[in-house]
Amino acid sequence: MVSTTSTSAFYPTRLDLPLETRKPVVEMLNTTLAATTDLRTQTKQAHWNVKGKDFYQLHLLFDEMAGELEEFSDMVAERITALAGTAMGTVRMAASASILPEYDFEVVGGMDHVATLADRYAAYAKHLRESINKADELGDQDTNDLYVEISRTIDKRLWFLEAHLVG
C-alpha cells in the first residue's frame, strides 16, 4: 500500500491547518483517490463489456457514472495538493491501495454487471461516510464537505443500480 505519512511528501504552505492534521487527512484522501480511480476503471470495465437486452441503457449509464468518478478523482487529488501533500494517483498506485475487490472479468450480462457495481459502490459509500466522520474529528471541515458532496452522488448512483435489481 502506498504511504503518504512521510513529512518529505509535504510542501511548504501558508495554510493554517497544522501538519499533524494534514498528514492523516492526506493519507485518508489518498486512500479515497485510489478507491475512486479503481471504481472508475471498474465502471468502465462494465461499460465496455456489458451485454444483453439492456445493453444500450446500461452502456450509457455506466459511462455517465465513470465520468462522475473521474471528476471526483480530480477533486480529491486537488484537495490533497491544497493541503500541501502529494496525490498518489497513478493506476499502479490505485491498484495497490484500493479498498475495493477486483472486478470479476467473467461478468457479461447486464444485471450481473449492475450487481457487481452495486457491491463496489456500497463499499465505496461506506468508506466515504467513515471519511466524513474522520475529517470532522480531525477538524478539517473543507475535506468533510468534499466527502459529503461525493457521498450524496454515490448514494444516488447506488440507488440507481439497486433499482435495476428489483423484480
Residue 48: give its domain's CATH number.
1.20.1260.10
In a domain, 37, yes or no: yes
Domain limits for position 158: 17-99+108-165
- Which three cell numbers mark 129? 461516510
- Which three cell numbers mark 152? 450524496
pLDDT tens across 4-13, in order?
Answer: 344 457 999 9
Mean pLDDT, to the nearest integer, of 130-135? 98
In a domain, 6, yes or no: no
51: three-class secondary structure by DSSP: strand
In a domain, 10, yes or no: no
In a domain, 9, yes or no: no
In a domain, 7, yes or no: no
Number of domains in the chain: 1
In a domain, 146, yes or no: yes
In a domain, 42, yes or no: yes
pLDDT of 2 > 50? The answer is no
pLDDT tens across 62-82, in order?
Answer: 999 999 999 999 999 999 999
In a domain, 79, yes or no: yes
pTM, full prediction: 0.94
